[in-house]
Amino acid sequence: MDFCFHVYIFVFIYFIYVFTGAGVLINKIGINYGQLGSNLPSPYQSIELIKSMKAGLVKIYNSNPEILKMLSGSNLKVCIMVQNNEIISIASKQTAADKWVEDNVLPYYPQTMIRFILVGNEILSHSSEEDQLIWHRLVPAMYRIKSALNAQNIHNIKVGTPLAMDIMQTTFPPSNGTFRDDITHSVMVPMLKFLNQTKSFFFIDVYPYFPWSSNSNKTCLDYALFQATTTNYYTDPNSGLTYTNLLDQMLDSVNFAMERLGYSNIRVAIAETGWPNAGDIDEVGANIYNAATYNRNLVKKMTAKPALGTPARPGSVIPTFIFSLYDENQKTGPGTERHWGLLHANGVPIYEVDLTGKRPLSDYKPLPVAHNNQLYNGKVWCVVAKGANMMELNKALAYACSQGNGTCDALIPGKECYEPLSVYWHSSYAFSSYWAQFRSKGANCYFNGLAQQTIINPSRGGCRFPSVSL
Ligand SMILES: *[C@@H]1O[C@H](CO)[C@@H](O)[C@H](O)[C@H]1NC(C)=O
Ligand SMILES: *[C@@H]1O[C@H](CO)[C@@H](O)[C@H](O)[C@H]1NC(C)=O
Ligand SMILES: *[C@@H]1O[C@H](CO)[C@@H](O)[C@H](O)[C@H]1NC(C)=O
Ligand SMILES: *[C@@H]1O[C@H](CO)[C@@H](O)[C@H](O)[C@H]1NC(C)=O
């Protein structure tokens, strides 16, 4: 096919490999255990769930003592993270790095099988002046954490940092993969040197969902879900390599970018990947059918023996962490953000997925039919969500109306939307007006759960609600 994805890719697993006596690599899938939910099971229950799902690894976004204690003696390999706001101090003093390892590793290791420490999260995706100060401290902080581990004689913990696909200047064709100019020499070159020296992994958050959804199309959906047929494979004209799926294409753009800088042996690991199981009306393809299909096929690919790798790195084992264990209701942004889970917040599976990859795909029960693989075509409004709290609505209303440009002019006494004088009515108007005006600048119809999208026109009488046309 022509290329589905020549657009720039802006985005964001885990996998275990162990050497057996015969030196055979065994691949197990990892899970990201995010905790941004108000209603999630306890760490104890969560770890029991992760074990029952037969994951091989678990990644947490911090170094939560309760979780790390609870993982003691389990077979799960563990990935922990240094917080973004700890990087500068760790980079500046070896004693700070030593203390971090003393506080966050030594109390649990080796009973808890910590195998990766990731320094920061998607550091290079934030670009304020303050953030850029952190960019330049990232690699020094990685060196210091590694030295602190060495000083403790710990040699089986790899140090890395998860980056998002927005580190790429070019991703297409994959052989043209190039890192962004603003980070190549200052950050990427020293980082690759560190990763190569320490035989660590290049951790990448890689979501085929994002490039696909920004340019959605049926043929390309099959390619994104690992279900393309030979006629839809893509051959890179420069390398001659043939791609059967979008994930490989994205991973190889990173491999080629590393190679361009002289590093062709650094292994890639997937810190996050997945597919949303639900989303807003203006989000295409976020459904259980696609999420289950993506993750089942991903697991099959990553647990295959011998390892499949990618076209540019055939046979390589790619440690992979699926995002995420649960749907997390405290994440802000569009609806998909709260729907990346394999499990509902109560621990019940949203769909079945065998993380060992052994279950044949034909062996699963039929999935619910996908109804949103094409973008909804029509008008959408943003109104007060069911159950919204009145006090919070007042604040959200004030916020929506204070963003400028007469967002709420129609709500002034005497104007067409003033009546009925209720917080619900005024908020619904204000949400629709705000969203219609600022969506193109990245605004969401969310307001901390107070707002939701609707295709039912809420306008009444002479009051016409602004809408978004999809
Ligand atoms: C979808 O993308 C493929 C590959 O670029 C293209 O051949 C096909 O015409 C597209 N289909 C639609 C309906 O746009
Ligand atoms: C890829 O890079 C090569 C060599 O730099 C260049 O000739 C070619 O035009 C590029 N292709 C695309 C599609 O950017
Ligand atoms: C990467 O590491 C390998 C093995 O330690 C070494 O032989 C090679 O020269 C390194 N590559 C670069 C570009 O430094
Ligand atoms: C306000 O609206 C005007 C006209 O619709 C537009 O040109 C301007 O960019 C808007 N300003 C903001 C802050 O959105």
The structure tokens listed for 124 are 């290079």
**Among residues 87, 37, 81, which one has the least CA distance to residue 61?**
81
Q: What spacing in Å lies between the alpha carbon of 218 and ligand 1's midpoint?
A: 8
Mutational test site, ligand 4, from 405, 408, 438, max ligand atoms within 8 Å of CB = 405
CA distance 222 to 94: 49
Ligand 1: nearest atom to the Cα of 218: 1
Around 110, how many Cα atoms within 13 Å sit in the side-chain half-sphere? Answer: 7
The pLDDT, as a whole number, for residue 201 is: 98
Q: Which amino acid is at 56?
A: G
Confidence at residue 6, expressed as pLDDT on a 0 to 100 scale: 52
How many whole angstroms from 438 Cα to the centroid of ligand 4? 10
CA of 184 to the centre of ligand 3 (A): 18
pLDDT tens, residue by residue, 222-258: 999 999 999 999 999 999 999 999 999 999 999 999 9
Whether cis (ω within 30° of 0) applies to the bond prior to 107 is no
Dist. CA 96–CA 145, nearest whole Å: 9
Residue 158 amino acid letter: K
Tokens of 126: 């934030």
Minimum CA distance residue for ligand 4 atom 9 = 405
Q: Which ligand is nearest to the CA of 2?
A: 1
The string of DSSP codes covering 320-364 is EEES-SB--TT--SSGGGG---SB-TTS-BSS---TTS-S-GGGS
> Which residue stretches of the chain have pLDDT < 70?
1-26
Concerning whether 259 is annotated as a catalytic residue, the answer is: no
pLDDT for the residue numbered 13: 32
Q: How far is CA 425 from CA 110, 254, 410, 417, 446, in A?
A: 58, 49, 12, 9, 16
Q: What end-to-end distance do the CA atoms of the chain give, in Å?
A: 27
Q: Is ligand 1 within 6 A of the CB of residue 168?
A: no
Residue 346 in tokens: 């109560």
Ligand 4 pocket, residues with Cβ under 6 angstroms: 404-405
Side chain identity at residue 369, one-letter code: V
In the residue annotation, 352 being an active-site residue is answered as: no
Q: Partners of 114 in the beta sheet?
A: 78
* Tens-digit pLDDT profile for residues 401-458: 999 889 999 999 999 999 999 999 999 999 999 999 999 999 999 999 999 999 999 9
CA distance 432 to 436: 6
DSSP 40: P
pTM: 0.92
pLDDT given at position 1: 40
Contacts 24+ apart (CB under 8 A), 175-180: 175/236, 175/238, 175/239, 175/241, 175/252, 175/256, 176/238, 176/253, 176/256, 177/252, 177/253, 177/254, 177/255, 177/256, 177/257, 177/260, 178/257, 178/260, 179/257, 179/261, 180/124
CA of 197 to the centre of ligand 3 (A): 7
